[in-house]
């Protein structure tokens, strides 16, 4: 198994597809996806385009759907939800499909949708993702951070590093045996430095600061927790994620 980490979807190889691809958008799309599925959501369907989301979601009855829209960290007017995982309670999402469009994470899912297996990861479900990798041993794995509008983000790279770090611990392999590119080594180093203070890292991150300005303090606290949900979001068909 070779791991490759890419800081943004734009930095992935254009004409290649891995056996397994993992989308990471810690603040907050992939954290929200894991939370919704853990809370009993029927599925999460992701869109990069808000108009397409509205058209597709109209095919579902109002009591069976929720619409979540986020741009620039803020909720899109007219949508049921923004992108806060704290709003996704079992009472609200149980048995319903969440139609979601966010600034960054949904673009990442679109880029990797042709991989044989597509997963989503955040700190809160890191252990479930690592367990899958250790058990299935896919030959090539891309861990793709969503970044922010095409640029590097601390929190996504740290989460990618957390996954790689845990894979090394479980397999007893050396970094040289696992790392497919230099980004794996740098991401592990970033995570190792901040693993005991992920919330502090978020406060340094540009998107963390953006969310703090929007009064999303509790969101940052929730997103900084590790391994609290035993849920593995997996793509059933392009754009549609279910719990496995």
pLDDT in tens, 149-172: 889 999 999 999 999 999 999 999
Q: How far apart are CA 232 and CA 210, in angstroms?
A: 28
Could you confirm whether domain 2-243 is CATH 3.30.160.150?
no
Q: From CA 27, how far away is CA 46, in angstroms rounded?
A: 16
State pLDDT tens for residues 11-49. 999 999 999 999 999 999 999 999 999 999 999 999 989
pLDDT at residue 123 tops 90: yes
Q: What angle do CA 145, 174, 159 make, to 5 degrees?
A: 20
Is the pLDDT at 195 greater than 90? The verdict is yes
Q: According to the model, what pLDDT value does residue 105 have?
A: 81
For the cut 90, the answer to whether the pLDDT of residue 194 exceeds it is: yes
Q: Where along the chain do its domains lie?
A: 2-243
Over the stretch 205-224, which tens digit does the pLDDT of each residue have?
999 999 999 999 999 999 99
Closest to 180 (Cα-Cα) out of 1, 4, 6: 4
Confidence bin at 73 (pLDDT 50/70/90): confident
Q: What pLDDT is stored for residue 72 in this prediction?
A: 86
Cα–Cα distance measured from residue 89 to residue 107, given in angstroms and rounded to the nearest whole number: 25
Report phi then psi at 148, rounded to 5.
Answer: -135, 105
């Amino acid at each position: 198994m070779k791991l490759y980490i890419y800081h943004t979807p734009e930095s992935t190889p254009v004409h290649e597809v891995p056996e397994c691809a993992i989308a990471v958008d810690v603040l907050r799309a992939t954290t929200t996806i894991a939370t919704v599925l853990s809370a009993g959501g029927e599925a999460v369907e992701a869109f990069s385009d808000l108009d397409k989301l509205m058209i597709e979601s109209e095919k579902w009855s109002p009591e069976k759907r929720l619409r979540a829209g986020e741009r620039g960290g803020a909720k899109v007017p007219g949508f049921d939800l923004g992108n806060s995982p704290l709003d996704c309670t079992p009472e609200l999402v149980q048995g319903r499909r969440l139609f979601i469009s966010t600034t960054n994470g949904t673009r990442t899912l679109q880029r990797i949708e042709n991989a044989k297996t597509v997963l989503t990861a955040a700190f809160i479900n890191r252990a479930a993702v690592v367990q899958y990798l250790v058990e299935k041993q896919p030959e090539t794995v891309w861990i793709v951070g969503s970044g922010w509008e095409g640029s590097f983000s601390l929190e996504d790279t740290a989460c990618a590093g957390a996954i790689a770090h845990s894979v090394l611990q479980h397999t007893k392999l050396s970094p040289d045996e696992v790392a497919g590119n230099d980004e794996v080594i740098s991401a592990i180093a970033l995570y190792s430095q901040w693993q005991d203070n992920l919330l502090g890292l978020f406060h340094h991150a540009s998107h963390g600061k953006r969310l703090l300005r929007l009064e999303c303090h509790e969101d940052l606290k929730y997103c900084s927790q590790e391994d609290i949900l035993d849920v593995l979001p997996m793509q059933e068909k392009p754009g549609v994620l279910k719990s496995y």
